[in-house]
Amino acid sequence: MTEPLTAAVELLVGPTAHGLPAHLLAQDGIRVHPPARRGSISALVDSLPPGRIALVDGRYDDVPAVGHREILGAIAAGWQVTGLGSIGALRAAELDGFGMSGYGRVFAYLLATGAPDDEVALLHRPAPDYQPITEALVDLRAFAEYLVTAGVVSRVHARDTIKDLSGRWFGDRSLPAYFEAIAAAAGQDAAAAARTHLRQFPEIRLKSADLRTYLTERSWTLPPSPRCSCPRTAADGPSSTTASTPGAC
């Protein structure tokens, strides 16, 4: 069967989708592409009539990253471009006001704070699984807020933990490093208590949660709505418990 020329949404995604139910990516109308690199969006614009692009993941270490100019070129050519999750949320925050739409709590956080690129960066294994090897700082911030709410660590210790990790290269931000940082800030007992909540972490990862909601509510089919910003918490980062309305931010 010949693949239709135009899909409802061209989805550029990789590690942010790891662990999500396969049926979400296999929906009718979604055409999945590898993480974007410089030229990926221009290639879609050159080969297809205008449609919708959802930019989630991108490569940026071993190859040039997807550029602002090609995103603006796609918009000028009539494409609707939405960014979420990882580099998509970052580019949407950077191009806010220039026609690119943002979606999700990661986008809202980046827009509100102007946090640097490495906030969403991680190391991952190759295709097709793109299994994450390290963790994005934005997700570790959400985990810290969860641990504060659960009474496992104090807000001061959570802040010290994130300060430690934010000073490291993104490739050093693993879960073992995270628990070591908690131990340094709050002691071994707190680190051991934090580890007992590790099973909750897959649901706390904001990047994947934003993508899950985007795919579940089929956001590309919804009418445009005014952008809103999710409320920030006192933990110096996005909360895993804010923005309870799906797709609200």
Among 56-60, 224-228, 238-242, the range of highest mean pLDDT: 56-60
Report pLDDT for 128. 86
Report pLDDT for 177. 97
Helices (H), 196-243: 201-204, 206-216
Look at residue 96 and give its three-state secondary structure: coil
Q: Tokens in use for 91?
A: 């580019």
Q: Tokens in use for 147?
A: 């641990």
pLDDT by residue (tens digit) across 158-206?
A: 999 999 999 999 999 999 999 999 999 999 999 999 999 999 999 999 9
Contact 239, 160 (CB under 8 A): no
pLDDT by residue (tens digit) across 103-114?
A: 999 999 999 999
Q: How far is it, in rounded angstroms, from Cα 118 to Cα 178? A: 16
In this predicted model, which residue has the larger pLDDT, 213 or 228?
A: 213
Q: Tokens in use for 81?
A: 């471009």
- Distance from CA of residue 106 to its chain's centroid? 6
Q: Which long-range contacts (CB under 8 A, 24 or more apart) does 169-174 make?
A: 170/118, 170/121, 170/122, 170/123, 170/134, 170/136, 170/137, 171/122, 171/123, 171/134, 172/134, 173/122, 173/134, 173/135, 173/136, 173/137, 173/140, 174/133, 174/134, 174/135
The conformation of residue 36, written as its DSSP 8-state character, comes to: B
Q: How far is it, in rounded angstroms, from Cα 97 to Cα 198? A: 38
Report pLDDT for 249. 37
β-sheet with 9-12: strand ranges across: 30-33, 9-12, 52-55, 80-83, 101-102
Q: How many CB atoms lie within 10 A of CB 162?
A: 22
pLDDT at residue 244 is higher than 70: no
Report pLDDT for 243. 32
pLDDT by residue (tens digit) across 60-92?
A: 877 889 999 999 999 999 999 999 999 999 999
Computed over its alpha carbons, how large is the radius of gyration of the chain? 18
Report pLDDT for 224. 58
pLDDT by residue (tens digit) across 8-46?
A: 999 999 999 999 999 999 999 999 999 999 999 999 999
Q: Which residues are 30's β-sheet partners?
A: 9
